[in-house]
Amino acid sequence: MKQYTSFEEIDRDLKILKLQAQIDKEEIKLTLEEVKDSLSPIRVVGNALGAIMQKAIVLKAVAKIFGVKRVVTSSK
């Protein structure tokens, strides 16, 4: 445990702790905003559509490379 020799030392450390607490609060606010943005409906749908498109492109490229043809079946 730190031993203080003057009130100035105590005041200095208290100011530092207060500033650190303010910084921590601001970091939490920023993190919450980032989470809100990443979970917005538009972002979620956009990410899902992007992932689907990426998989479709990869599957098409693989099919083209290996000469795989699409098979369509009828359920009549």
Cα–Cα distance between 40 and 34 in angstroms, integer? Answer: 10
3-state secondary structure 2-62: CCCCCHHHHHHHHHHHHHHHHHHHHHHHHHHHHHHHHCCHHHHHHHHHHHHHHHHHHHHHH
Q: Please give the model's pTM, rounded to 2 decimal places.
A: 0.54
What does the pLDDT look like over 58-71, one tens digit per residue? 988 888 888 766 65
What does the pLDDT look like over 18-61, one tens digit per residue? 999 999 999 999 999 999 888 888 888 888 899 999 998 998 88
Residue with the two structure tokens 């105590």: 10
* 55: its two tokens: 């998989």
Query: What is the per-residue pLDDT for 76?
Result: 59
- 62 or 10: whose pLDDT is higher? 10
